[in-house]
Structure 1
Amino acid sequence: MANGLISARFVTSVFDHAKAPTDRRPAVAFAGRSNVGKSSLINAITEGRPIARVSATPGKTQSLNFFMGDDRFFLVDLPGYGYAKAPHAVKDSWGRLVEGYLMNAPYLRGLILLVDCRRDFQADDRMLLEWLAPRRLPVLLVLTKTDKLTRVQLDKAVKTIRRDVFGDDESGGLIPFSAKTGQGKKEVVQWIRQAAS
């Protein structure tokens, strides 16, 4: 924690939201499309060796993966959505798992929604935000893979996605992030610690 990163360790993977850890520690979940970089973000903001398995194969995460952060809160890596080649039954299973957790986890304190900065804000992303609205959960939008764009392209992407998601609200929580360069890492860690406090 001296370097500002989160001290973390793997706790468990569950395939049924009802089997999620039941202690009263707060949790922050990571959601987004398949291959958007959820595991890479978790590894970038935690100290030591990588704790989340990164895969080039979309749809690899099929469980809720729980990591203990700073010995006081959970980081929850959710299965990605939007992977077109996944069998319909698998997509349904992931949907029930994620929905069950997000709607029923009593100690969930925030959601980080990851969006690839090279893509427009997708209908699946919007649907997730609308679906979560009644829960009034703090949401941070993290634009991933920012190192793949030039500065001008990134500025344009940030403006476009901010407008699409937040409209005229300039205060909407949005952080450009790159696991490769470290851009946004400190801000994401700060948001997580505040949400989990």
Structure 2
Amino acid sequence: MKIMNAEFIISAVEPHQYPSDALPEIALAGRSNVGKSSLINKLILRKNLARTSSQPGKTQQLNYYRVNEALYFVDFPGYGYAKVSKTEREAWGKMIERYLQNRDELKLVLLIIDIRHDPSKDDILMYQWLKHYDIPLCIVCTKADKIPRSKWDKHKKAVRTTLGADARDLFVLFSSDTGMGREELWNILAESAEIAKEEPQVRPES
């Protein structure tokens, strides 16, 4: 994917704050510190558009990033961080549930898992929720460079088994450090969002 432009648009909480230009949206879900921001930055070849944080749980809204005037990445709050209060977790859950159930522009959810660890209870619940509501998803296992290649298949099987994943689910091994999986994932995103991979439709300036 040739990146022509990418920009942060808004941190949204309520539906009236969502962009109204009807571009396709790709959501990113995963636990805190799983590498969602790093994944976005590697996909768009920018070092710090999506800000990584040393403080897990810092993202508290739906962060919208527009790419090539063709699609949005929607970065969800990371779940599973113990220091976030129960009230905050419940509020985030309602915000995410409202978005997932009602957002017509949503084309795909990237369920992001650290390949070094088995999926958490929250990962399993998110997977089951997406399946229950028939929301398209792709399992993206980050930090693949952190384990030997000889162990990839073992860890992939553990992720699939723990999630109870369907064999037909899209599955990508990814590394934000090496760029592994970037092209494969962009092919999936472009197909899901129905955009051209190499010649994005860039809107003329008004």
The TM-score with structure 2 as length reference comes to 0.87
Q: Counterpart of 2:95?
A: 97
Distance in 2 (CA, whole Å) between partners of 1:150 and 1:6 is 34
Q: Counterpart of 2:200?
A: none
Q: Counterpart of 1:45?
A: 43
Q: Counterpart of 1:132?
A: 130
Aligned runs of 1:1-16 on 2, under 5 Å? 2=2, 5=3, 7-16=5-14
Aligned runs of 1:43-82 on 2, under 5 Å? 43-82=41-80
| Structure 1 vs Structure 2 CA RMSD | 1.8
Which secondary structure state, in structure 2, belongs to the residue aligned with residue 23 of structure 1?
A: coil
CA displacement at 1:167 relative to structure 2: 5.3
How many equivalent residue pairs?
194
Q: Counterpart of 1:86?
A: 84
Per-residue displacement from partner, 1:94-127 (whole Å, max 9, x unpaired)?
1111111111111100000000111112221121
Aligned runs of 1:107-126 on 2, under 5 Å? 107-126=105-124
Distance in 2 (CA, whole Å) between partners of 1:117 and 1:154 is 8
Q: Counterpart of 1:189?
A: 186
CA 21–121 in structure 1, closer or farther in 2 if over 3 Å, else same: same
Structure 1, gaps ≥5 residues long: none
Please tell me whether the aligned partners of residues 162 and 174 of structure 1 are also in contact (alpha carbons under 8 angstroms).
no
Distance in 2 (CA, whole Å) between partners of 1:97 and 1:184 is 30
CA displacement at 1:53 relative to structure 2: 0.6
Match of 2:141 among 140, 143, 148: 143
Which secondary structure state, in structure 2, belongs to the residue aligned with residue 119 of structure 1?
A: coil
Over 4 Å off, 4+ runs: none
Please tell me whether the aligned partners of residues 8 and 47 of structure 1 are also in contact (alpha carbons under 8 angstroms).
no
Q: Counterpart of 2:202?
A: none
Aligned runs of 1:170-189 on 2, under 5 Å? 171-189=168-186
CA displacement at 1:17 relative to structure 2: 3.7
CA 109–12 in structure 1, closer or farther in 2 if over 3 Å, else same: same
Please tell me whether the aligned partners of residues 36 and 116 of structure 1 are also in contact (alpha carbons under 8 angstroms).
yes
Structure 2, gaps ≥5 residues long: 195-206
| Larger mean Cα displacement after TM superposition, 114-123 or 7-16 | 7-16
